[in-house]
Amino acid sequence: MAEHDITGRLQQSVREALREPPPGGLHIRGGNTRSGLLATRRGAGAATTLDTGGHSGVILYQPDELVLRARAGTSLAELDGLLADHAQQFAAEIPRPATGSTLGGAVACGWDGPARPYGMSLRDTVLGCSMVNGRGDLVSFGGQVMKNVAGYDLARMQVGALGTLGVLLDVSLRLAPRPEYSATRVLELPAADLPGWWQMAGLLRPLLRGTCYMEGRLYLRLSGRRAAVEKVLPTIGGEDGAFDWESLGNLRLPFFCAERLACVYLPPHTDFHADAGGALVEWEGARVWVRDGDHGALQRQARELGGFVRVLRGPAVEPGVNTGDWQRRIREAFDPAGLFNRATYETHFRCPERPPCR
Amino acid sequence: MSDRESWQAGHGAGIVAALRDAIGADRILTAREQVAPFECDALPVYCERPLAVVLARDEEDVVATARLCHAKGVPLVTRGAGTGLSAGARPYGRGILLVTAAMSRILSVSPASMTARAQPGVLNEQLSTAAAAHGLYYAPDPSSQIACSIGGNVAENAGGVHCLKYGVTVHNVLALRLVTIDGEVLEIGGDCLAQPGYDLLALAHGSEGCLGIITEVTVKLIPLPEQTRTLMADFSSVRAASDAVSAIVRAGVIPAALEMMDALAISATEEFCHAGYALDAAAILIIDLDGAPEEVAAELGLVQEVLGSSGATRVQLARDGEQRQRWWKGRKSAFPAIGRLSPDYYCIDGTVPRHRIGDVLEAIQAFSQRYDLRVANVFHAGDGNLHPIIMFNGREGDALDRVEQLAADILEYCIAVGGTITGEHGVGIEKFNQMAVQFSDAEIGQFLAIKQALDPKGLLNPDKLIPSLAHCQEYRALREGQVEGTNG
């Protein structure tokens, strides 16, 4: 595995940018495999790119501790291989849209895979991180231990912050033993039957690790000790089947190839009907992917139901952040000069005084 | 002059009258005998008398109190049930103490979405009791769960016995209502499994009342396990028991609970409640395995094998619920049991990597001899979360000084082996000094920037959790002197 520690160079780049601010700020780029994941409006002035992909390698891996600390530019695929050698995996299911996807990009994006409702989210598994903040300081928060309440939890805050709070250097994550056995069950059913199935899913909870409804078929993934999974499978109905859960998590199923693509987050078991285009339902109805839909209408519908929309491709929507000006104040506390990922911040965090974007 | 200084110079006058007007005279306590019970939390070595105690009934009372304190520049400390162990709820001298204990209603339990909504004063255990009718429960279970409240659990990011598998408070809370110091109500998080914007839920957890006041909590409930089996293993050395903890995890098992007690804790507890522990063991492990019966059976086999090969002198499987309960009752009453052995006791809290538990326990033994103080250990071994309990007599002149020095040595040793000064009790006042050891000036500076951004006047729980840079430098210099003194 490539081992490159370019902490000094990254810190120096931030300090130089503080002395002589580039007109568009700094644009942080890791493996550059996720830039298509979130529609971002163009910012004013060209940003100078700060490449972190070269900052890579494992700093600490202790299988007995179920802890991995690795640099942000480390490839997730390489980490998978290392963990598999010890019958372990990340405690959260982390999407990797391409082979070059990095750990830092995953944390910055904060997306979760199909297993999210049944275990930990990526955010839940973060134990600590190091970063260069907007003052050019090298800072570490959290650590490598399971429980830690010293100081504010600024490590977990980096998850989903899209690199707007600093340059992530390394992350410590909680790991889990790889399940002994996994199996998929497939059922053909009309969408109208889904709410009943989500209620039933509660009974499968200790072993359920994913649900997906697409084109009239409901796929259920169960994982755990082999004896337990094999006992439950025949009680579900339907039949044994295969489903590419990895491609679902990595957004690489043919379904996701659409000109416009939005993701609707909803409270569990919401009765949600996507009118236009196709829909793919995950997380027992709590995440619905809609292709070629009307994003404005989706956002209105989601809001009425207590949810919100993230746009991957196509017209952007308001970020739906309703926590007053705390978002802005936090950004300024980390990055007073507004150096990092300016356009991303404007699109996904800044709100709500700004006029609607469409 | 800063806001707090101008308040101290008398500019905050009239706050009590204004609070009486806004909230009602019967909810504002100022008489010495009424205020006395609120002078400390469950760490009574730190006491302070507030100017007034506000007994909030609802969110409106909280908003009114925050607005008045903000307008008049008066420090505001929030207290839930007062069970905290780091003096996080100790009042600020002549400031306002806001008590949320009377906001104690469970607002809803939703079996369909497996959530419950509660006011901050609802006791931890009440959530599980209310959810039990639906076959659900709330996972984090601090030892004080019959007395501690959910608002305080969030403020401290409380842990407990079953956190190894199910996570601590931050993993089990979906949404909060939080009142800012200027009286704005923020809705943080929500029913969805993701949220737009920065993760304010993470920021609020463990913020110890320094950023806002929690007025409502939505928790995640999980199905009661179909089956739970409990093992107890005896060991002839603390080191062997510690190594067994790592071996269990290495075998690919995450027990629902994995607790350890040393000989002193065993004998105190056995005398107190006859739990059935082996008095001749140097350490015992108590292990819960839960889930589907086939899952539990498979893991029982694995764990029993690991315990056998790790040198356990005896491994017992609880034969029924009664024996299980008895073993756990012993574990949960260990603190009061140890409390009976000496006039005073002081429980500290650090987390270390699991494979260093043995080293740390041996170091604690050596430190305790240096200060001539007895230390018992009963803790969450699966998480590496230690709770050394120092026994002392507060009436002996220098006893408290020695206790504080011993505690500092233990916590700083936890940092040295790659751990942290607090796993679940919080920093409060108690570990204020050690923050200077765990964090650099740049890191403390980042924490202070967050505090300054969200509470610019510094009124919420002042002088807790994050020390000033000057305080850090002073403490580091002091410790350097002490260490040189010890070495010389």
- A129 → chain B, closest CA residue: B443
Statement to judge: residues B35 and B141 lie in one domain: no
Host domain of residue B265: 227-337
Task: Enumerate residues 6+ apart whose C-beta is below 8 A from B83.
Answer: B41, B42, B144, B147, B148, B149, B152
Give me the residues of B, 17-36, that contact A with CB < 8 A.
Answer: none
pLDDT digits (tens, 9 = 90+) for B190-226: 999 999 999 999 999 999 999 999 999 999 999 999 9
CATH 3.30.465.10 matches A7-178+329-348: yes
Task: Enumerate residues 6+ apart whose C-beta is below 8 A from A292.
Answer: A258, A259, A260, A261, A276, A277, A278
pLDDT digits (tens, 9 = 90+) for B410-447: 999 999 999 999 999 999 999 999 999 999 999 999 99
Statement to judge: residues B366 and B476 lie in one domain: yes
CA distance A252 to A160: 21
CB B222 within 8 A of CB B139: yes
Task: Enumerate residues 6+ apart whose C-beta is below 8 A from B52.
Answer: B15, B16, B19, B28, B29, B30, B35, B96, B97
Beta bridge partners of A48: A26
- B194 → chain A, closest CA residue: A265
Higher pLDDT, A3 or B275: B275
Q: Give the angle B256-B262-B267 at the CA atoms, nearest 5°.
A: 110
Amino acid at B451: K
Give me the residues of B, 130-169, that contact A with CB < 8 A.
Answer: 156-157, 159, 163-164, 167-168
B160 neighbourhood in chain A, CB within 8 Å? none
Beta bridge partners of B360: none
Checking if the pLDDT of A352 tops 60, the result is no
pLDDT digits (tens, 9 = 90+) for A45-66: 678 999 998 999 999 999 999 9
Checking if the pLDDT of A274 tops 70, the result is no
Q: What is the mean pLDDT of residues A93-103?
A: 92
| Distance from the B351 Cα atom to the nearest Cα atom in chain A, whole angstroms | 6
| Distance from the B53 Cα atom to the nearest Cα atom in chain A, whole angstroms | 27
Q: What is the mean pLDDT of residues A316-327?
A: 84
Q: Any idea what the CATH number is for the domain that residue B40 is in?
A: 3.30.43.10
**Domain endpoint, select from B205, B223, B241:** B223
| Distance from the B363 Cα atom to the nearest Cα atom in chain A, whole angstroms | 19
Statement to judge: residues B315 and B448 lie in one domain: no
pLDDT digits (tens, 9 = 90+) for B441-454: 999 999 999 999 99
Statement to judge: residues B137 and B35 lie in one domain: no
Burial class (CB in 10 A: 0-12, 13-18, 19+), A254: exposed
CA distance B9 to B11: 6
- A141 → chain B, closest CA residue: B443
pLDDT digits (tens, 9 = 90+) for A158-214: 999 999 999 999 999 999 999 999 999 999 999 889 988 988 888 898 899 999 999
Indicate yes or no: CB of A147 within 8 angstroms of CB of B112: no
CB A267 within 8 A of CB A305: yes
- A283 → chain B, closest CA residue: B193
Statement to judge: residues B268 and B294 lie in one domain: yes
Q: Any idea what the CATH number is for the domain that residue B137 is in?
A: 3.30.465.10
Indicate yes or no: CB of B249 within 8 angstroms of CB of A306: no
Q: Give the angle B81-B41-B465 at the CA atoms, nearest 5°.
A: 105
A124 neighbourhood in chain B, CB within 8 Å? 167, 170-171
CA distance A148 to A82: 26
Q: What is the mean pLDDT of residues B65-78?
A: 97
Statement to judge: residues B205 and B244 lie in one domain: no
Q: Any idea what the CATH number is for the domain that residue B299 is in?
A: 3.30.70.2190
Domain ranges of chain A: 7-178+329-348, 181-258+260-313
Q: Would residue B385 count as lying in a domain?
A: no
* The pLDDT of residue B3: 56
Indicate yes or no: CB of A152 within 8 angstroms of CB of B450: yes
* The pLDDT of residue A47: 85
Statement to judge: residues B281 and B367 lie in one domain: no
Structure tokens at A175: 């790991």
**Domain endpoint, select from B223, B249, B265:** B223
Give me the residues of B, 323-352, that contact A with CB < 8 A.
Answer: 351-352
Statement to judge: residues B255 and B322 lie in one domain: yes
Structure tokens at B260: 């350890």
pTM value is: 0.96
Number of structural domains in chain B: 4
Best of B63, B192, B250 to disrupt the A interface (most A CBs within 10 Å) is: B192
In SS3 terms, A266-308 reads as CCCCCCCCCCCCCEEEEHHHCEEEEECCCHHHHHHHHHHCCCE
Checking if the pLDDT of B488 tops 60, the result is no
- B350 → chain A, closest CA residue: A148
- Nearest CA-CA partner of B216 in B131, B126, B118, B110: B118
Checking if the pLDDT of A41 tops 90, the result is no
Using CB atoms, which residue from B197, B418, B435 is nearest to A150? B435
A350 neighbourhood in chain B, CB within 8 Å? none
Indicate yes or no: CB of A207 within 8 angstroms of CB of B447: no
A65 neighbourhood in chain B, CB within 8 Å? 246, 249, 353-355
Collapsing DSSP to helix, strand or coil, B443 comes out as helix
Q: Considering chain B, what is the average pLDDT of its residues?
A: 94
Statement to judge: residues B352 and B467 lie in one domain: yes
On the CB side of A109, CA atoms within 13 Å amount to 28
Best of B199, B300, B461 to disrupt the A interface (most A CBs within 10 Å) is: B199
Statement to judge: residues B171 and B273 lie in one domain: no
* The pLDDT of residue B124: 98
Residue B250 contacts A, CB cutoff 8 Å: yes
- Nearest CA-CA partner of B263 in B277, B249, B274: B277
Amino acid at B185: V
- Nearest CA-CA partner of B100 in B144, B126, B70, B63: B63
Statement to judge: residues B188 and B268 lie in one domain: no
Phi and psi of B172, rounded to 5°? -125, 10
Whether complex ipTM tops 0.90: yes
Q: Would residue B381 count as lying in a domain?
A: no
Q: What is the mean pLDDT of residues B295-299?
A: 96
pLDDT digits (tens, 9 = 90+) for B143-177: 899 999 999 999 999 999 999 999 999 999 999 99
**Domain endpoint, select from B206, B223, B240:** B223
* The pLDDT of residue A202: 82
Q: Would residue B276 count as lying in a domain?
A: yes
Statement to judge: residues B303 and B397 lie in one domain: no
Q: How many CB pairs under 8 A join A and B?
A: 254
Q: How far is the CA of A2 from the CAs of A51, A79, A172, in angstroms?
A: 16, 11, 18
Best of A152, A204, A330 to disrupt the B interface (most B CBs within 10 Å) is: A152
Checking if the pLDDT of A357 tops 50, the result is no
Cis preceding-peptide flag for B353 (omega within 30 of 0): no
Indicate yes or no: CB of B351 within 8 angstroms of CB of A156: no
B249 neighbourhood in chain A, CB within 8 Å? 64-66
Indicate yes or no: CB of B446 within 8 angstroms of CB of A287: no
